[in-house]
Amino acid sequence: QQQVKQSPQSLIVQKGGISIINCAYENTAFDYFPWYQQFPGKGPALLIAIRPDVSEKKEGRFTISFNKSAKQFSLHIMDSQPGDSATYFCAARGGGSTLGRLYFGRGTQLTVWP
């Protein structure tokens, strides 16, 4: 049972365009939603994260939009660059003693054409 569903599986965007990746979850106990970026041969790197008490968080060109009632959240990459080409994972986690356990989406392979 996939706790976090991510789409699309792959995404091709022109340089300067907006990349949008969507995720949905079912478990209302989740209270922390990070996004990770992974380059080939590397481990996932934390990009940006949000908690459900806010609807949007922006860091540079990266924005998370969060819809608690719909149990959905998305990553927007503005002014996409070839260097953004990587695999992106959304994740979710409950609180308390489950701090180390993230439930990951299946990933989105982003390609940004120059």
Binding site for another protein (CB under 8 A): 32, 34, 36, 41-46, 49, 89, 93, 97-107
Mark residue 26 as left, alpha or beta (left: phi above 0; alpha: psi -120 to 50; beta: remaining).
alpha
Q: How far is the CB of 54 from another protein (least distance, A)?
A: 16
Q: How far is the CB of 100 from another protein (least distance, A)?
A: 3
Biggest distance spanned by C-alpha atoms of the chain: 44
By C-beta, is 75 or 80 nearer to another protein?
Answer: 75
Q: Among residues 112, 62, 60, 109, which one has the least CA distance to residue 88? A: 109
By C-beta, is 41 or 83 nearer to another protein?
Answer: 41
Q: How far is the CB of 70 from another protein (least distance, A)?
A: 23
By C-beta, is 29 or 46 nearer to another protein?
Answer: 46
By C-beta, is 17 or 48 nearer to another protein?
Answer: 48
Return the residue matching tokens 């996004």.
35
For residue 91, how many other CB atoms are within 10 A of its CB?
A: 23
Q: Give yes or no for a cis peptide into 8 (omega within 30° of 0).
A: yes
Q: How far is the CB of 57 from another protein (least distance, A)?
A: 14
